[in-house]
Structure 1
Amino acid sequence: MARQLTLRNVERQGLERRVVSQAREKILREGDPARDSVLIAGDEAWHRGVLGIAASRLAREYHRPVILFGMEGDRASGSGRSIPGVSIHAILGEVAAFFLDFGGHDQAVGASLRTEDFPAFRDAARAVFAERVDPQALVAVEEFESELPLDVVDEELMAELDLLEPHGVGNPRPLFSSGQTRVVGSLAPLGDSGMRGAMPGRDGPIPFRAWGDVRVPPSGPMAVLYRLSRGRSGAPEAEIVRVRA
């Protein structure tokens, strides 16, 4: 049973990474993340069970509301995630005539529509978000919880962070700053646009991953903003969201 659960988790994580990577490519190809007030993409190959997680990751990456749809025949099922200060539910309510089903709250929505209506919906949603969203809300201000050098991260600290679970909308993983760290060993590609490696921790190297425009230098000192979680083995892992070399 435990092995089956592990295999399912690995498979699901693979699906998540694939959807995030493909959605990022579509967003860059079909829109402009630096200009658009909302990022919308859809694909027939995307499993709707991972769309919310993928949208959440991309919303953090681009600091924009993100809505992703998986097309199944004549029906497209989607999930959206927002950023602080932008009610994705209220704004999408202005184009609710497109939806077959629609629900959610300020920071997360679920919706479905006819596949043939997706292009018109995307255009209408982009227009209403451009009108309703304050441009200042789209300027990322990285507010981290505290300075936490990676070389003090150990099991005792991770146990304290476990008490903050579960994480999700309304309770994101805390963001920390480490002012002086470096890559241990070499970097390796992760998916189509990510990278992975390791940084020094108290109990040994801490694996990390970075996505999109986050560029980690292969050598030399760097400062990072990062989030901590546990990997499949239970050991700490980091997601780097900003780098200053």
Structure 2
Amino acid sequence: MSKRWVYKDLPDPETVHSLASGIKVSDTLAALLVQRGYSTFEETRAFFRPHLGQLHDPFLMKDMEKAVNRLSEAIFKKEKILIYGDYDVDGTTSVALAYGFLRKYHSNIDYYIPDRYDEGYGISETGVRWAAEQGFTLVIALDCGIKAVSKVELANSLGVDFIICDHHLPGPELPKAFAVLDPKRLDCNYPFDGLSGCGVGFKLMQAFAIQNTVDIQELYLYLDLVAVSIASDIVPVVGENRVLAYFGLQKLNKSPLPGLKALKNLSGIRGDVTVTRVVFGIGPRINAAGRIDHAGAAVELLLARTEEEAEELAAQLDIKNDLRKGFDENITKEALAIIEEEDQLKKSFSTVLYRENWHKGVIGIVASRCIEKFYRPTIILTESNSKATGSARSVVGFDVYEAIAECADLLDQYGGHKYAAGLTMNLDKVEAFKERFEEVVARRITPEMLEPIIDIDLAIPIEGINHKFFNILRQMAPFGPGNMQPVFVSTNVVAKSVKQLKDIHLKMFLSQEGSKASLEAIAFGFGEYYDAIANGTPFNVAYTIEENDFMGNKTMQLHIKDLKLD
């Protein structure tokens, strides 16, 4: 699939040179920093040397004092406290953090994860009534609840107080909970609004520790959970999130919680755990619990006290992840085959597919897989509780939530954001929805949005890449949204010693005319280019610079993202 290379604006040369001189790095590295908003010595020092003292005062968040006072009162009066969280990675890590931290100071505490299939996302009526029946008087809702107006109203009528810790955009009306913690509240002046759900839970626990003079190191034992939530929920890795991710990944690499250590081992991660390795190795295994069965199993693993217990629970979760992968692969094949077989669907501006027997737990993943092949807004629907329920995914620049909103009269409910959403409708509305959604997408989408893009930071010569350059470059990690791993372009490159791996990948050495410098490169999925470049034809290449660790032997390697023949 052809990709459009989009170059970032080149920063002001004088600013770049001044910064390069001030912090003693190359102009290339200084340009990367200026592009990311760091142009002074003080800003770059804070960026390269994060410390936990950079975390904001949690009491700056609206309703924080009310929330902590209510939590402290409940603990003092020995009330029953319920920790309530969503079934995805952010929700389960949130619950594990809050429950794991508070159980040291309060024994009358439990946790609750709604069932994906019976209760759906967020605070459910079933969960509220269960809490009341069991005698819980305080519920701390994590990674959900900001739009649960009627559910909180029900809880109030049943004598159950709610503290909501959410990070999603509020609706027009806030729930009448005892306290609502959400940095995206319009009336909240907290300095950073990009926290994950687990991050908001962390701020509540931080405030509790401050108010009750609890050793803050007791809370920092759970920073690895916060890092996993930040990586898996794809929130911006800037500001406070960068600090939390930086120290959370340090803990994940040096002294992880038993459950995360077991998941790390099962994922086969060699070397340091990075944001990317969490996203593709640890996160999917946590998610598998709620996709295949019940997410309570993930929380149980994350709360494991011993390595033996964790290894046993992780093995069970890995079985579910294998099942998830099987469903994912089979349904993706079916979905792609449907598109290939229908000429009209192949020419459409959108993909909307429905099969009653597709597994609800993986349809979001399948939507993403379809976009890899047919790059356009995609919705995968299946039957659940006699309704058609689906997951939507989008392409860069296209607001799929707004497009779905134009079809609201056909839907029972919908929710989400610009690039991912969920929806439910009557089965007899599916065909009408397909037609309406296609009409809306065709009207709204632009040709540029239908072509995948690669954001390019800078064009550089290969001879400028050395160990000193790379060692400074990797100090810019952790990488993620807002601070992505730099992508470089080198032009008129020639490949030498080109090898095909499994017929679909390429391994080679790249050099440029007039330079003796040569670097090893790996190109996953570019096997079709073998004949075109093995004969010495020059081409342009987009890549990241990474470290290849083979049996303890570490070397620099270019990871090719795309190439264009000259």
TM-score normalised to structure 2 length: 0.32
SS of equivalent residue, structure 1 residue 142: strand
How many Å apart are 1:78 and its aligned residue?
A: 0.6
How many Å apart are 1:102 and its aligned residue?
A: 0.5
**Given the alignment of the two structures, is residue 21 of structure 1 paired with residue 336 of structure 2, yes or no?**
no
Which of 418, 429, 437 pairs up with 1:125? 437
Q: Deviations over 1:141-189 (max 9, x none)?
A: 433456798xx9xxx89x7797225x7xx8988767686668645536x
Q: Which has the higher helix share?
A: 2
Aligned position for 1:232: none
Distance of aligned partners of 1:74 and 1:243 in 2 relative to their CA distance in 1, 3 Å threshold: farther
How many Å apart are 1:65 and its aligned residue?
A: 0.8
Which of 1, 4, 8 pairs up with 2:320? 8
SS of equivalent residue, structure 1 residue 45: coil
Q: Percent identity?
A: 25
**Given the alignment of the two structures, is residue 105 of structure 1 paired with residue 420 of structure 2, yes or no?**
no
SS of equivalent residue, structure 2 residue 454: coil
SS of equivalent residue, structure 1 residue 163: coil
Q: Distance in 2 between matches of 1:15 and 1:33?
A: 23
Distance of aligned partners of 1:217 and 1:207 in 2 relative to their CA distance in 1, 3 Å threshold: closer
Aligned position for 2:383: 71
Which amino acid is the alignment partner of residue 11 of structure 1? Answer: L
Aligned position for 2:397: 85
Question: Which structure would you say has the larger Rg?
Answer: 2
How many Å apart are 1:216 and its aligned residue?
A: 2.4
Distance of aligned partners of 1:51 and 1:239 in 2 relative to their CA distance in 1, 3 Å threshold: farther
Q: Deviations over 1:72-112 (max 9, x none)?
A: 46322111111222111111111112212200111111011
Please tell me whether the aligned partners of residues 391 and 422 of structure 2 are also in contact (alpha carbons under 8 angstroms). Answer: yes
**Given the alignment of the two structures, is residue 199 of structure 1 paired with residue 199 of structure 2, yes or no?**
no
Q: Which has the bigger relative contact order, CA under 8 A and spacing at least 6?
A: 1
SS of equivalent residue, structure 2 residue 379: strand
Note the residue ranges of structure 2 that are not aligned, 5 or more in a row.
1-310, 466-470, 510-519, 547-557
Which amino acid is the alignment partner of residue 89 of structure 1? Answer: Y
SS of equivalent residue, structure 1 residue 131: helix
**Given the alignment of the two structures, is residue 163 of structure 1 paired with residue 478 of structure 2, yes or no?**
yes
Cα-Cα RMSD: 4.5
**Given the alignment of the two structures, is residue 142 of structure 1 paired with residue 454 of structure 2, yes or no?**
yes
How many Å apart are 1:68 and its aligned residue?
A: 0.9
Aligned position for 1:56: 368
Which amino acid is the alignment partner of residue 125 of structure 1? Answer: F
Q: Distance in 1 between matches of 2:361 and 2:443?
A: 31
